[in-house]
Amino acid sequence: MIKLIVNGQEHAVDAEPDTPLLYVLRNDLGLNGAKFGCGLGQCGACTVIVAGAAVFACLTPIALLLGRQVTTIEGLGTEDAPGPVQRAFMTEQAAQCGYCIAGMVMRAQALLARTPDPSEQESRNGLNPNLCRCGTHMRILAAVRRAASLLRAAAPTKAAAQ
């Protein structure tokens, strides 16, 4: 048994230590937001956040995750109460087939946590590991801009808090 902390909940998983996190999320924990695209770290459809960094779940063995917080798209919000980045993607209608979108949202979430007001180039660079075969890149970039302002508005500045 390997203990994983996913979206704040601890799970005891009966799997080999070298099992990719993506398989455990989808097959054992019923978290199907992260998608299997290439399985090779080349598309980003499987992106989740581990200890604040966006990672490819298809390449991450669960043995590396002991004691580390894993966040999936399900951890950002719900259908009724989506998180700010999810809301921004919906408002900008930043999806066609939608296959890449959970990964894009997670990559954007990690980017905005470390760079709250990214330039266009920083957003492009930050999202670069993730691919969208439908070509919704301009809408995705608009969603990142919108998400950044939603997150900044939700986080009062130090000065305002004093």
Give the residues lining the site for ligand FES (CB under 6 A). Answer: 36-39, 41-46, 56, 58, 95-101, 132-134, 136
101-115: burial string, b at 16+ Cβ within 10 Å, e else: bbbbbbbbbbbbeee
Q: Cβ contacts of residue 132 below 8 Å, gap of 6+?
A: 100, 104, 140
Residues 6+ apart with CB under 8 A from 105: 73, 76, 85, 86, 89
- Dig out the tokens for 22 from the structure: 């993506």
CB of 92 to ligand FES, least distance (A): 12
User: Is the Cβ of residue 139 or residue 152 nearer to ligand FES in the bound state?
Assistant: 139
Question: Of 36 and 152, which has the nearer Cβ to ligand FES?
Answer: 36
Least distance to ligand FES, CB of residue 59, Å: 6
- Which residue lies nearer to ligand FES by CB, 59 or 150? 59
Residue 101's identity, in one-letter code, is I
Which residue lies nearer to ligand FES by CB, 124 or 158? Answer: 124
Could you tell me the smallest distance in angstroms from the CB atom of residue 4 to ligand FES? 18
Min dist CB 153 to ligand FES, Å, is 27
Nearest to 46 by CA among 96, 86, 102: 102
